[in-house]
Amino acid sequence: MRILLISLALAAPLAAQQSCEALTRLTLPEITIASATAVPTGPFTLPNATRTINAPGFCRVVGTIWPEVNFELWLPNQWNRKFVGVGNGGQAGSISYGAMVEPLLNGYATASTDTGHKSSEPAWALNHFQRIVDYGYRGTHVMTQAAKAIVAAHYGRNPEHSYFDGCSNGGRQALMEAQRYPGDYDGIIAGDPAADWTHLYTGGHLWVMRAMDGDGYIPASKIPVLAAAVNKACDALDGIADGVLEDPRRCHFDPKVLACPPGVGGPDAPNCFTRAQIAAIRKIWDGARTASGDLIQPGLMPGGEEGPGGWAQWVVGSGPGMGGHAGLGNPGFQYMVFDNPKWDFRTFHYEAPKGFDSDVDFVDHKLGAIMNATDPDLRAFQARGGKLLQYHGWSDPDISPLTSIKYYEKVAQVVGHGAAANRSIEATADFYRLFLVPGMQHCTGGPGPFSFDKLDVLEQWVEKGRAPDRINAAHVASGRVTRTRPLCAYPRQAVYDGSGSTDDAQNFTCVLPTAP
């Protein structure tokens, strides 16, 4: 009913435009507007003090939606009559100010939410079901409804088009919007989505934590050794030796060739790997399985391990239990799953103890319906003309890109009514397209072409009917474009034409690949 009340407010007749300061007197169900401040054109330091921008004049609205979903809405004086909601990474808990900057600078009204908790409080979810629901799906939706109502009040008209842009957990939020609330947005961008949240935590974060525990731990100093060996074995499989694997599924590199002498049981050394370390690499690449062999979560892909956003950050960190997977997994299991701040990841059961479900099943049963954005039935979103642009880095060291492929193919089967694969994908392509990004790490960075104007591509599709078959992307280093490549709508891949620079996107064609 609370969501319905906000929806009814949106359906009310529009009044004359209200000034920024007057918005504090706006009465909307379950919404409290704490402040509405006119920000002049000029330098503006983001509220989290991470950067200062040269901002256009805008109205900064700060508010709360029942019970404790905080949000901000920025309303530019020179409005382009569109709205952009932005997502949150990790476990949310703060306004995504950085993600609001570009939409604001380009004339969009833009909003973000903390989804109902503060990231500065690690135990925010402990015995607090409402906060978990708000984080899982409700917070983004009520932020969207509130923002649209305030936009209408301020400008005297509804936005002509509404878009959502999120990556990682924000990608999960994006898919959740398309699945649960198909009327919220005309176009949605879902990047590297943490869609299958429960299996990402059990078969992704925890699996990597366990692999990197004890003798299996690999120091960050060894990651370049692994990366160089992968490139030597697989880089040229796509016809170009450029440090980027176009399709890592074709790479069948066995890390045992990096074993320390004599054989895999030899002593540790800076340029080789012990038996336990090799076993850990295999576990991470193979993916999480139960003892009986059932796949829980696909593994990470080989390639792109090196770099500031690669394995050093996400997989190994500064020591056992210190990588990015542990930083998300530990609090997730302690405060959201087992309600025990002293929970130890070594106690997790991948198989069912006698008489009990496995811990994997327990997590699925407790949080799956709230957290997982895996419903493949997007026909309601399709029917209202919505467009979904999904992308995923092939070298993502946090979330396996195979999860995005799996979800896309499930949607194609539902939308195509179980037709043959090619016909199902054709039926899906009118509203949903997936782009795999070779060499891109988690949401950005890596050796591949990771920079592209996603929102412009989506707008062209929604507003002008120009469905993207390929997207030109760039690799940027020290603020300079060093390479461009096309990203191809799945399942097509970029193939070099055989002449001209391999760093120029115009010399590549998108074609259907042979089986990997």
> Would you name the residues annotated as active-site residues?
168, 396, 442
**What is the distance between the alpha carbons of residues 458 and 477, in angstroms, rounded to a whole number?**
25
Structure token pair of residue 382: 């399709």
In one letter, which amino acid is 313?
Q
Question: 227-254: string of b/e by CB count within 10 Å (b at 16+)?
Answer: bbbbbebbbebbebebbbbbbbbebebe
Torsion of CA 355, 359, 363, 366, to 10 degrees: 30
Helices 421-428 and 402-415 pack at an angle, to 10 degrees, of 90
CA distance 89 to 255: 32
Query: What is the full DSSP assignment across 422-479?
Result: HHHHHHHTTTEEEEEETT--SSS-SSS--B--HHHHHHHHHHH----SEEEEEEEETT
In whole angstroms, what is the distance from residue 476 CA to residue 485 CA? Answer: 12
Q: Which secondary-structure segment (H or E) carries 288?
A: strand 288-289
Burial of residue 465, with CB atoms counted within 10 A of its CB: 0-12 exposed, 13-18 middle, 19 or more buried: exposed
The pairs formed by 48-51 with CB atoms below 8 angstroms and a separation of 24 or more are: 48/94, 48/95, 48/97, 50/97, 50/98, 51/98, 51/101
Q: Is 87 helix (H, G, I), strand (E, B) or coil?
A: coil
- Grouping H, G, I as helix, E, B as strand and the rest as coil, residue 84 is strand
- Number of C-beta neighbours around residue 345 at 10 A: 16
Cβ–Cβ < 8 Å for 438, 449 = yes
Q: d(Cα 36, Cα 25) in Å, to the nearest integer?
A: 10
| CA–CA distance, 133 with 371 (Å, rounded to integer) | 8
- Residue 340, token pair as written in the block: 């025990």
Backbone Cα Rg of the chain: 23
